Structure 1
Amino acid sequence: MGVGTAPRRGAALLASTLRIIGTAIALVLVLHVALTLLEANPANQLTIFVADLAVRFNLGLADLFLPADPKLAVALNYGLAALVWFAVTAVVVRIVRRFA
């Protein structure tokens, strides 16, 4: 093993882990938007679970836009939160890989 190989592997593992977590969070938000737009049964356990997770990860953006249509509100607010999660994840992963 060369000098610095272990820290590089550790940083690569950290970057991969962060990418998986950030992408999973963004996908939960996108799934919440999809379930809302497709009018999934709000009493269904999967729908409730996804909605609860989405509320936890919305970055305070759940009421940024307040259009009259509640579906549009979910699409705009949670869609924006998903985009922010994707962007922040990409930046953080790039930083971790650069300093590895």
Structure 2
Amino acid sequence: MGTTARRGANVVASVLRIVGTVIVAILVVYIVLVLLDANPANTFAMWIRDLAEYFNLGLANLFVPANPKIGVTLNYGVAAIIWYAITVVAVRLVRRIG
């Protein structure tokens, strides 16, 4: 395979890595905001919550402990780990193809 294709694959892999990292960061920031009792009416907190709910992979109610903060930490933490794994696998596949 030529250097142009390899370079293109590296660019795609880098974009995938950035997108995956941003998604993981959104989920982690949401967990931190919940743990620190951020004002849920704050625009930034609402924006992060909406994005986290979009990227939670349907895992928002996987664990339902008595303490809701633990539930958010577990559920969104598992989603963050899964997104991280998806990102690593996708980047490796693209780089291997390239």
TM-score, normalised to structure 2's length? 0.98
2:24 paired with 1:47 = no
- Once the two structures are TM-superposed, the CA of residue 39 in structure 1 deviates from its matched residue by 0.3
Q: 1:11-66: CA deviations, max 9, x gaps?
A: 00000000000010000000000000000000000000000000000001101000
User: Does the alignment pair 1:38 with 2:36?
Assistant: yes
**2:94 maps to which residue?**
96
Tell me the percent identity: 56
Pairing 1:24–2:60 present: no
User: Within 2, Cα distance between the matches of 1:69 and 1:41?
Assistant: 18
Gaps of 5+ in 2: none
- Is 2:81 the counterpart of 1:87? no
Q: Runs in 1 of length 4+ with deviation above 3 angstroms?
A: none
Query: What residue in structure 1 maps to residue 13 of structure 2?
Result: 15
Query: TM-score, normalised on structure 1?
Result: 0.96
Q: Distance in 2 between matches of 1:84 and 1:24?
A: 13
1: distance between equivalents of 2:51 and 2:44? 11
